[in-house]
Amino acid sequence: MEFVTLSNGVKMPKIGYGVYQVNPAECERCVLDALEVGYRAIDTAQGYENEREVGAAIKKSGIPREEIFLTTKTWIAIGDYEQGKKAIEASLQKLGTNYIDLLLIHQPYNDYYGVWRAMEEAYKAGKLKAIGVANFYADRLIDLSKHTEIPPMVDQLETHIFWQQQEAHKYMEKYNVIHESWAPFAEGRNNFFKTPLLHEIGAKHGKTAAQIALRYLLQSDVVIIPKSTHKERMQENLDILDFALDEADMNAIAALDRNKSLFFYHNEPDTTEMLIGLEGRVKVY
């Protein structure tokens, strides 16, 4: 496995396994499969409602806890310092661990400054090894970085070949924040897996279109957390460290960038109303 080093010196695997939309009923099996094929980073969230299953799989795997990099995220409804403290304890309890490797604020809504203070406190106490955000565009990321004692170490954004987040990446580099991708396959949108260029480059390297797309992000200094419920695909997604794209490959894939979301924008009113409307859906504690 290859690693990136966070601003506080913590090492984070460049490839992890994401469990977004993995049904709790099959989540434990999926995480066990992922760990068996070699993943050592697991990404979940309070909003995914499968933290217990992730924790159970890690315990059942027999792999020492310190060998697994575990990420979770606070839910939108968690909106102040006191709620933040309770939410952190709730995740620790559900995950069955006494520390979380990386805790992210999931969305740039509600009193995330209050939650951040709770995260800073838990970080100092050793309950969190690293802290960061998700879906914070550059303006929100800069604001949080400038007005907190401990600035974010990671920002997880929608990032794939059709929205490569090159501008956001520049600001993450400037503020020493690691860029992590959610939806590295864009959930198959825009005929992702049928993209001719990916197949052309894949034939050249003896790799699949999916592997080429992941390798591109990896070589662009983006951490990836691909999801699959199929063990053979999990293995395929992990098998991207034995080759490298050349400059021509990288330039060709860079040209696929449409510089726009295939899902929604977190700074648009309709999206904000939609996501905040989901607040009551999840019982965190």
Decide: 147 and 120 in contact? Cβ < 8 Å.
no
Q: How many CB atoms lie within 10 A of CB 149?
A: 9
Both tokens of 35, joined, read 């760990």
Instruction: Spell out a b/e string for 65-81, using b for 16 or more CB atoms within 10 Å of the CB, else e.
Output: eeebbbbbbbbbbbbeb
d(CA 128, CA 119): 8
Catalytic residue among 48, 112, 123, 216: 48
Catalytic status, residue 48: yes
How many CA atoms, within 13 angstroms, populate the side-chain half-sphere of residue 262?
21
Considering Cα of 81, then 178, then 20, then 50, what sign does the dihedral take?
A: negative
Angle between helices 196-205 and 247-254 (to 10 degrees): 170
Instruction: Spell out a b/e string for 178-207, using b for 16 or more CB atoms within 10 Å of the CB, else e.
Output: bbbbbbbbbbeebebeebebbeebbeebeb
Angle at the Cα of 6 from the Cα atoms of 73 and 69, rounded to 5 degrees: 50
d(CA 7, CA 28): 31
102, β-bridge pairs: 71
Which residues are known catalytic residues? 48
